[in-house]
């Protein structure tokens, strides 16, 4: 089975987010980049499915030229090739993103049994690209998935809900958006890293439509204005802690 | 389809007729957008109770045999039909997992933009969260009907005096595609233990725990408090704890009475998961750790000393 | 946390390994009111200590660095945080093997006797997961260790706090360092001001920013060192110890691999030089990891993966072993690769403890504490002294250029005479164009371009029958022309450009007293006398050696080597009287110096001046102003090459004219332009003249160097008490001149040691004197006129026997027999000094 996983390059933020002066982006001069934890699990799942069932695992991203780094990371843990929709670095809104992904899937021509997304991107968190892509391609879609099984062309997905898991069964091909916890992604091996260098990346430059969800500016929310009341140092603080627990009524 | 400028439709999630807290928050959020006009609410299956107190004038209740089990596209189709009937200026749902999912389907079906997890809205201008709430985005939705979801726990529910809403029952026309994806089974979690999301007390640790074994003292304290054990993403990635214990943007979002976070610095990814905690007690060797700016109480010290000391003190107080 | 301090004996800024260790040692040395602050949290405030690789390879070609490292390792052992695992520097090429053989010499010279060369099979035995088939051999140091530097810092800090002499404030950011009248007065912090007359900047990559607050400069640049951690390694999961296998330094590809628990850490210096500005280091809050851990740049590391895979296919090639962690860690690099220690020349009381790595951290802490408390450290720190930098060497452009060039040489094979390629042609003597026409090969000294030899003199090689050196390494950065120029000078005369001299005028009523206090020799001499003198430290060891001309009753001119000039300047400036009765002015760039020496020097000079330059009228050791055409020239009749002649000082803009005049006048006398190869090595060594930083270091005494005078002057001077004591003691070693009896090596090539090699018994047993110091070659070079290859070395008295043939010099792991020619200062060429006095 051929599996496509869509990923997004995002910065690895620290304890505080710093914005660029024009308030249009995060200051990333000192930050590394990665993909969302959900997507890492998606890539891992795709690689496992292809290992188990054969086929090809492909990763796709819409992002700046530098996002090739993330594609290579994905290929280092086993994706076979990559599709890079190269942007000028400006973020696309979810509708435009979905449309570009759909165009790319059609242009690629591969019959994908499964198209995986992270449930939401780590940065924008729009919760909708997977579903839009599914609708455009006329495919069934499930969200928030933490368990995937494939047998006899049939997909079985599990989603956490109220202390248990709901089960969805749907035919392939399908679109699934996944959550971290689906699996424990592997670390890339050195041979994997080296193989990734020569795996193919098909790059193309899609044209960006007008944003219908138009970002005006970013704002770092004011802190909660809290300054923790320090109860003490080391073990000596224990009695005060217990008093607080009693006050709150959990003891 | 020319939308009415004051018609606002709110999609209600409920459990056996009891509206969820985030849905009630969405109603409170919606009222200013309706500029005093009664709200339209939509629910599937059972009629949610008490919506009148939240400014709902009309409840559109979709009935269909398919609603016995959750089918996101079918719910969305009901919303789409209602939108087509009402031509509202805005359609609002809770920014919950299901709310976002249903609204994404709606947006896809209508090819409309959707602003997820908003904290405020004025007409088409919204402020929504990014990075699980560590960053805000001001955006404009370019559409006659504004679709948005409301970030849970950012609006306090306010009731209003109103009539019992009028009920409008309808049966949506569901295609096979709308019903292709639905819950067909259930796996119950192994019993025992307190679920992290619902725990009244969560005790967690980060890399500072040192190892999987290092969580022994965390489990002990959680046990004494009848709480659940949490951890940071670094811990999950190290394989010390299962992902189900992870508190954070991509882990479990918790809402305990008190969150005891030990050896956790307060990275944005983690803090996005504990914004719902009523009180936070941070234990950290670093008095300048970012977490102290979000915590109510702090203890400066090594968790490996402080946590066992708290456990011992609890035992002493309880006479154990 | 205790109440904030409002004053302190000393404030140390930075809680990394250096600051912790320095604070600890300051209290141990007796200071009782020390404050240590850091802007970050404890125990890991976010600097380079927090992500250091923490391993220690004790052997370095630099004696100073090896001593600091060994001192540090001793302290780590005492603190119980030293895990000895051994380390192997492996060679993939024959050139590297040669380098490892050189390392054997350094190991023996600096007393690390456990080091040995190992075969590929032995490497395989020590490191079973290595592919030894790509290796030619290795340099194995069994005492290589991994330390816990964070823990060490914490233990030292806590011990000092425990003693009551240290107070620590974390999360305290420095906002300013106040300076009044050139002296530091207080540190302003986010938590309040601390009055202090001594402030130490020990905050690594942030050092330049802190120094700038006080108007001082710490010329370092933060650079990236990449490393990854892969695991879990199945083989390591079975080991009983956290570190069971030796660390491997894969020198030829500039990488290292080491076991770290169940992981393998792979570090690299092979990537491009990635520099940062100190201003750009993010705050603790905004940093994703720590402020000094930058995001990993995979493409820079990719090529190294293949090299790691080649060496350790079993682990690195294991598909189940993942890359778990990768960082670009910031480290401090300096233009010459050495730390930056000592009181800043700009601000009294402001000290630097910067560009120090974990391996030398505690040693630096202790040495610097000794220096601060007692005025001198037991380890000679001249190569690390912050006052060594010339102004241009403190600029950002220079630091960046040199560190950019140096980074790829981190594990490189660096020839002792290797020249920098970057940021050259900064200081050009007025004769530079003339020299270029003569095919000068320029070496750099203190930024000056100095001819080392002149290609135009190539015909002299045949004329004098100078042989080339057979081994490429020995011949690298060398030319037989040097020896030919030497012989031409001895036969006729040589013309030297000495523009790189550092020159200071000390004037005023208090000048004499200040200089008397500064130097060993009597400087209350007749006007017109030139005094050569050592400068001593408090312990009676050497701080410098230089000449002083008395130009007037209250007017003196100090002339010293360019390389060490700035340190000498601070040394004298620090001793100026507080009442302002003497001043020191750096006139280096006001004067240029041209030397003319050789049997025909007087003929040449006489041809261009009407002044009387006869031996009677212008004796050795005097100076005076003479007229040469329309130039007034200060002529000083001294010599560092052992021949008749003068140093001629003229205003720098007139230098070219003087050169031309002398050149023309010299034609009939076969005057030859001679390079520094003659001045610094061949001429000097034949005369057994000692050089600072070679023979003369603070760990050797005047008596050991054979430079004591019959009497000690009455006036007090720095180091006098120690010097008087040394004169009463038997010297533990005596500086001797040795010559090599036989240069032939096993390969058949004649070999020529280049310096710093161990002097041993013929069976290879090293010589150690009563003070524990090894005998090693302090200087090496040809004596063309005596037909011998000359070595200088301090020998224990029992071996300091003229004519003795029981010793050898060990070079490239082979021993070459030597004869002890001279014990003490007697020149090997012209022992009666007839030439210079003729």
**B3 pLDDT more than 70:** no
- CB neighbour burial string for C498-521, b if at least 16 within 10 angstroms, e if fewer: bbbbbbbbbbbebbbbbbbbbbbb
H or E segment at C358? none
Is the pLDDT at C546 greater than 90? The verdict is yes
C144 to B71, C247, C258, C262: CA distances (angstroms) = 65, 8, 12, 19
pLDDT of residue C8: 96
Q: How far is A25 from chain B (nearest CA, A)?
A: 10
CB C63 within 8 A of CB C195: no
Chains touching A (3+ CB pairs < 8 Å): B, C
> Cα torsion for C617, C623, C629, C632, to the nearest 10°?
-140
Nearest CA in chain C to A32: C295
Averaged pLDDT of chain B? 91
Q: Which token pair is C733?
A: 């070693």
Cα C234 to Cα C24: distance, rounded to the nearest angstrom: 41
Report, as an integer, the average pLDDT of C253-257.
94
C229, C260 in Cβ contact below 8 A?
yes
CB-count exposure of residue A52 (10 Å: 0-12, 13-18, 19+): exposed
**Distance, CA of A142 to CA of A130 (rounded, Å):** 9
Q: Does the pLDDT value for residue C473 go beyond 70?
A: yes
Tell me if C47 sits within 8 A of C204, measured CB to CB: yes
C234 vs A: CB within 8 A: no
What pLDDT is recorded for position B307?
95
Our CA-based measurement puts residue B56 at a distance from the nearest CA of chain C, in whole angstroms, of 45
In contact, B45 and B74? CB cutoff 8 Å: no
φ/ψ of C558, rounded to 5, equals -100, 130
Strand partners, A142: A176
Calpha distance C278→C205 (Å, rounded): 6
Looking at chain B, the whole-number percentage of residues with pLDDT higher than 90 is 66
Q: Minimal Cα distance from A234: which residue of C?
A: C1
Q: At a CB cut-off of 8 Å and minimum separation 6, what does A84 contact?
A: A60, A61, A63, A67, A68, A71, A201, A202, A203, A204
A100, A85 contact by CB (below 8 A): yes
Q: At what angle do helices C149-162 and C361-374 cross, to 10 degrees?
A: 30
Q: Where is average pLDDT lowest: B61-70, B96-105, C122-131, C206-215?
A: B61-70
Sign of the CA dihedral running B82, B88, B90, B92: negative
- Give the chain C residue nearest B291 (alpha carbons): C285
Judge whether B174 is closer than 8 Å to chain A, CB to CB: no
Q: C226 forms bridges with which residues in the sheet?
A: C268, C328
CA distances from C227 to C51, C103, C265 (A): 10, 25, 7
Q: Residue C1: pLDDT band by 50, 70, 90 thresholds?
A: very low
Q: Which two tokens stand for residue C648?
A: 């001629």
Q: Provide the 8-state DSSP code for A228.
A: P
CA nearest A61: which of A203, A243, A210, A230? A203
How many contacts, defined by CB atoms under 8 Å, are there between B and C? 18
Instruction: Give mean pLDDT, residues A128-140.
Output: 98
Cα C58 to Cα C114: distance, rounded to the nearest angstrom:
11
Q: List the Cα angle C737/C103/C383 in 5-degree steps.
A: 70
Question: What's the pLDDT at C2?
Answer: 53
Best C40, C150, C169, C284 residue to mutate vs chain B (most B CBs within 10 Å): C284
Flag whether pLDDT at B4 surpasses 80. Answer: no
Strand partners, C823: C736
Question: Which range (C276-280, C525-529, C747-751) has the least confidence?
Answer: C276-280
**Residue B253, pLDDT score:** 86
Closest C-alpha to A110, from A238, A244, A2, A199: A2
Tokens 């879990």 found at: C232
Cα distance between residue C189 and residue C7, in whole Å = 12
Name the residue among A125, A28, A143, A31 with its Cα closest to residue B139.
A125
| Chain B from 252 to 271: CB within 8 A of any A CB | 257-258, 265-269
Chain A interface includes B100 (CB < 8 A): yes
Higher pLDDT, C556 or A151: C556
> What confidence tier does B255 reach under pLDDT thresholds 50, 70, 90?
confident
pLDDT single digits (tens) C747-783: 999 999 999 999 999 999 999 999 999 999 999 999 9
Element housing A143 (H / E): strand A141-145
Instruction: Please determine, for residue C222, whether its predicted confidence score (pLDDT) is greater than 70.
Output: yes
- Nearest-by-CA chain B residue for A233: B300
Q: Pick the range with the lowest mean pLDDT from B160-169, C467-476, C587-596.
A: B160-169
Q: What pLDDT, on the 0 to 100 scale, is given for residue A84?
A: 98
Q: Are B142 and B114 in contact (CB under 8 A)?
A: no
Q: Does residue B286 sit at the C interface (CB-CB below 8 Å)? A: yes
> Band of the pLDDT at B265, cuts 50, 70, 90?
confident
Any chain A CB within 8 A of the CB of B294?
yes
- Residue C825 predicted with pLDDT over 50: yes
Please give the ipTM for the structure prediction. Answer: 0.94
| Average pLDDT score, chain C | 95
Given an 8 Å threshold on Cβ–Cβ distance, is B286 in contact with C285?
no
Comparing C35 with B244, the larger pLDDT belongs to C35
| pLDDT for res B193 | 64
Structure tokens at A50: 């292809």
What's the half-sphere exposure (Cβ side, CA atoms, 13 Å) at C631?
Answer: 23
Convert the pLDDT of each residue in C109-164 to its tens digit.
999 999 999 999 999 999 999 999 999 999 999 999 999 999 999 999 999 999 99
Question: How confident is the model over B117-140, as a mean pLDDT?
Answer: 95
CB-CB under 8 Å, A187 with C324: yes
Distance of CA B130 to the CA centre of its chain: 14
Whether the predicted pLDDT of B94 surpasses 50: yes
Q: What are the structure tokens assigned to C744, written together?
A: 């032939």
Would you say residue B1 has pLDDT above 50?
no
Confidence class for position B192, pLDDT limits 50, 70, 90: low
Q: How far does the CA of residue A168 sit from the closest CA of chain B (Å)?
A: 5
**Burial code of B126-164, b = ≥16 C-beta within 10 A, e = fewer?**
bbbbbbbbbbbbbbbbebebbbbbbbbebbebeeeeeee
Which of chain C's residues have a Cβ under 8 Å away from the Cβ of A29? 280
Contact residues, chain C, for A191 at CB < 8 Å: 309, 317, 319
Report whether pLDDT(A224) > 70: no
Contact A30 C280 (CB under 8 A): yes
Active centre residues of C (catalytic): 225, 256, 545
Residues C464, C492 contacting (CB under 8 angstroms): no
Confidence of residue B68 (pLDDT cuts 50, 70, 90): confident
pLDDT at res. A228: 84
User: pTM of the predicted model, to two decimals?
Assistant: 0.88
> Given this model, what pLDDT does residue B5 score?
63
C-alpha B59/C-alpha C572 separation (Å) is 93
State what percent of residues in chain C have pLDDT above 90. Answer: 90
pLDDT over 50 (residue C16):
yes
C54 backbone φψ class: left, alpha, beta (φ>0; ψ -120 to 50): left
Residue with tokens 């391609």: A137
- Reported as a single tens digit per residue, the pLDDT across C787-812 is 999 999 999 999 999 999 999 999 99
What pLDDT score was predicted for residue A226?
67
Rounded to an integer, what distance in angstroms lies between the CA atom of residue B243 and that of residue B251?
Answer: 7
Helices (H) and strands (E) in chain C, counts: 22, 41
DSSP letter string, C81-110: -EEE--EEEEESSHHHHHHHHHHHHHHHHT
Confidence class for position A70, pLDDT limits 50, 70, 90: very high
Residue of A87, A94, A76 whose CA lies nearest to A34: A76
Distance separating alpha carbons of residues B179 and B186, to the nearest angstrom: 18
Q: What is the pLDDT of residue A161?
A: 86
Q: What is the dihedral of CA C573, C577, C582, C585, to 10 degrees?
A: 10
């Amino acid at each position: 089975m051929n599996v496509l996983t869509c990923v997004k390059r995002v910065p690895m933020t620290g304890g505080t987010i710093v914005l660029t002066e024009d308030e249009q982006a995060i200051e990333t001069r000192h930050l590394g980049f990665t993909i969302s934890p959900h997507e890492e699990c998606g890539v891992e799942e795709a690689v496992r499915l292809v290992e188990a069932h054969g086929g090809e695992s492909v990763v796709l991203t819409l992002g700046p030229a530098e996002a090739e780094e993330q594609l290579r990371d994905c290929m280092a843990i086993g994706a076979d090739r990559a599709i890079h929709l190269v942007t000028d670095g400006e973020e696309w809104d979810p509708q435009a993103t979905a449309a570009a992904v759909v165009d790319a899937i059609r242009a690629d021509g591969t019959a994908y049994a499964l198209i995986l997304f992270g449930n939401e991107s780590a940065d924008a968190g729009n919760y909708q690209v997977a579903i839009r892509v599914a609708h455009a391609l006329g495919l069934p879609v499930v969200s928030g998935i933490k368990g995937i099984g494939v047998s006899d062309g049939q997909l079985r997905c599990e989603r956490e809900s109220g202390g248990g898991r709901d089960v969805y069964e749907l035919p392939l091909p399908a679109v699934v958006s996944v959550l971290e916890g689906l699996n424990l992604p592997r670390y890339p091996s050195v041979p994997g890293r080296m193989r990734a260098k020569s795996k193919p990346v098909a790059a193309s430059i899609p044209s960006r439509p007008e944003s219908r969800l138009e970002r005006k500016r970013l704002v770092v929310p004011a802190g909660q204005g809290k300054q923790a009341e320090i109860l003490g140092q080391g073990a000596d603080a224990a009695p005060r802690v217990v008093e607080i627990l009693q006050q709150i009524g959990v003891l | 389809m020319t939308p009415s400028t004051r018609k606002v439709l709110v999609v209600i999630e409920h459990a056996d007729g009891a509206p969820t807290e985030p849905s009630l928050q969405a109603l409170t959020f919606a009222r200013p957008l309706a500029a005093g006009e009664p709200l339209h609410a939509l629910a599937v299956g059972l009629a949610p109770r008490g919506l009148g107190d939240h400014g709902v004038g009309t409840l559109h209740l979709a009935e269909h045999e398919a609603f016995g089990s959750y089918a996101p596209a079918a719910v969305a189709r009901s919303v789409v039909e209602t939108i087509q009937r009402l031509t509202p200026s805005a359609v609002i749902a809770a920014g919950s997992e299901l709310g976002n999912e249903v609204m994404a389907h709606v947006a896809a079906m209508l090819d409309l933009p959707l602003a997820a997890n908003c904290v405020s809205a004025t007409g088409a201008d919204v402020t929504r969260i990014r990075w699980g709430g560590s960053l805000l985005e001001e955006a404009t939705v370019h559409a006659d009907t504004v679709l948005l979801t409301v970030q849970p726990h950012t609006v306090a529910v306010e009731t209003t005096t109103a009539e019992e809403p009028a009920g409008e029952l309808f049966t949506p026309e569901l295609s096979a595609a709308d019903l292709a994806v639905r819950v067909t089974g259930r796996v119950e979690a192994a019993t025992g233990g307190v679920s992290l999301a619902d725990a009244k007390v969560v005790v967690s640790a980060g890399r500072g725990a040192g190892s999987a074994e290092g969580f022994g003292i965390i489990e002990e304290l959680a046990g004494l408090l009848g709480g659940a054990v949490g951890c940071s993403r670094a811990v999950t990635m190290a394989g010390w704890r299962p992902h189900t214990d992870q508190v954070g943007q991509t882990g479990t979002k918790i809402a305990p009475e008190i969150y005891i976070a030990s050896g956790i610095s307060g990275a944005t990814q983690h803090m996005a998961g504990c914004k719902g905690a009523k009180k936070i007690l941070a234990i950290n060797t670093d008095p300048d750790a970012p977490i102290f700016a979000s915590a109510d109480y702090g203890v400066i010290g090594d968790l490996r000393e402080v946590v066992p000391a708290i456990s011992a003190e609890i035992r002493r107080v309880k006479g154990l | 946390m205790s109440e904030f301090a409002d004053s302190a004996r000393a404030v140390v800024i930075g809680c990394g390994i250096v600051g912790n260790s320095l604070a600890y040692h300051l209290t141990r040395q007796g200071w009782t009111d020390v404050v240590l602050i850091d802007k970050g949290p404890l125990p890991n405030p976010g600097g380079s200590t927090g992500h250091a690789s923490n391993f220690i390879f004790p052997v370095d070609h630099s004696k100073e660095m090896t001593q600091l490292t060994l001192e540090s390792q001793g302290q780590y052992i005492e603190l119980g945080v030293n895990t000895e695992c051994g380390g192997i520097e492996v060679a993939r090429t024959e050139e590297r093997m040669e380098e490892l053989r050189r390392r054997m010499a350094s190991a023996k010279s600096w007393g690390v006797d456990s080091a040995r060369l190992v075969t590929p099979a032995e490497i395989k035995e020590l490191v079973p997961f290595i592919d030894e088939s790509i290796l030619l051999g290795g340099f194995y140091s069994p005492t290589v260790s991994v330390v816990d530097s964070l823990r060490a810092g914490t233990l030292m800090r806590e011990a000092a706090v425990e003693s009551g002499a240290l107070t620590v404030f974390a999360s305290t950011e420095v906002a300013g360092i106040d300076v009044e009248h050139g002296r530091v007065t207080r540190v302003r912090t986010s938590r309040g001001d601390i009055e202090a007359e001594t402030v130490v900047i020990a905050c690594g990559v942030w050092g330049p920013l802190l120094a700038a607050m006080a108007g001082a400069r710490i010329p370092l640049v933060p650079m990236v060192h990449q490393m990854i951690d892969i695991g879990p390694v199945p083989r390591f999961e079975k080991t009983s110890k956290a570190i069971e296998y030796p660390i491997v330094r894969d020198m030829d590809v500039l990488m290292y691999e080491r076991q770290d628990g169940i992981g393998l850490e792979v570090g690299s210096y092979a990537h491009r030089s990635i520099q940062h500005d100190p201003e750009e280091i993010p705050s603790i809050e905004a940093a994703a990891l720590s402020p000094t851990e930058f995001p990993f740049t995979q493409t820079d590391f990719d090529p190294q993966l293949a090299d790691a895979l080649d060496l350790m296919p079993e682990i690195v090639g294991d598909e189940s072993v993942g890359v778990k962690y990768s960082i670009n860690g910031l480290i401090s690099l300096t233009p010459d690769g050495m730390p930056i220690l000592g009181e800043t020349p700009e601000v009294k009381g402001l000290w630097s403890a910067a560009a120090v790595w974990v391996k030398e951290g505690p040693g630096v802490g202790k040495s610097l504490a000794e220096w601060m408390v007692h005025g001198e450290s037991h380890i000679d720190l001249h190569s690390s002294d912050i006052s060594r930098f010339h102004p241009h060497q403190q600029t950002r452009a220079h630091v960046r250029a040199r560190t950019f060039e140096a980074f790829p040489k981190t594990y490189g094979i660096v020839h002792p005479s290797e020249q920098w390629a970057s940021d050259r042609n900064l200081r050009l003597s007025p004769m530079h164009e003339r020299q270029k026409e003569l095919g000068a090969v320029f070496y750099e000294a203190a930024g000056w371009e100095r001819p080392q030899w002149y290609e135009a003199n190539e015909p002299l090689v045949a004329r004098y029958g100078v042989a080339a050196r057979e081994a490429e390494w020995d011949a690298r950065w060398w030319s037989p022309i040097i020896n030919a120029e030497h012989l031409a000078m001895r036969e006729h005369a040589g013309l030297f450009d000495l523009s790189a001299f550092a020159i200071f005028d000390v004037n005023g009523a208090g000048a004499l007293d200040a200089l008397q206090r500064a130097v060993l020799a009597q400087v209350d001499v007749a006007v017109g006398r030139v005094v050569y003198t050592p400068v001593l430290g408090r312990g009676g060891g050497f701080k410098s050696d230089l000449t002083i001309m008395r130009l007037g009753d209250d007017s003196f001119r100090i002339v010293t080597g360019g390389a060490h000039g700035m340190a000498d300047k601070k040394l004298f400036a620090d001793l100026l009287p507080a009442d302002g009765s003497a001043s020191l002015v750096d006139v280096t760039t006001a004067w240029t110096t041209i030397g003319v020496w050789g049997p025909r020097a007087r003929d040449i000079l006489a041809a261009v001046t009407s002044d009387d330059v006869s031996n009677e009228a212008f004796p050795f050791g005097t100076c005076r102003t003479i007229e040469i055409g329309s130039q007034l020239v200060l002529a000083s009749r001294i010599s560092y090459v052992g021949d008749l002649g003068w140093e001629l000082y003229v205003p720098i803009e007139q230098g070219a004219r003087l050169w031309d005049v002398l050149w023309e006048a010299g034609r009939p006398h076969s005057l030859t332009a001679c390079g520094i190869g003659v001045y610094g090595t061949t001429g000097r060594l034949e005369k057994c003249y000692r050089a600072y930083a070679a023979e003369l270091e603070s760990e050797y005494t005047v008596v050991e160097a054979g430079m004591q005078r019959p009497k000690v002057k009455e006036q007090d001077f720095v180091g006098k008490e120690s010097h008087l004591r040394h004169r009463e003691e038997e010297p533990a070693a005596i500086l001797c001149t040795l010559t090599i009896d036989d240069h032939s090596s096993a390969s058949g090539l004649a070999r020529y040691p280049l310096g710093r090699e161990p002097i041993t018994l013929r069976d290879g047993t090293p010589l150690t004197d009563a003070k524990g110091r090894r005998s090693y070659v302090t200087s090496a070079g040809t004596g063309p006129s005596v037909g011998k290859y000359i070595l200088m070395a301090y020998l224990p008295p029992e071996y300091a026997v003229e004519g003795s043939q029981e010793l050898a010099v060990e070079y490239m792991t082979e021993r070459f027999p030597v004869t002890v020619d001279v014990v003490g200062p007697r020149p090997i060429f012209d022992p009666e000094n007839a030439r210079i006095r003729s």
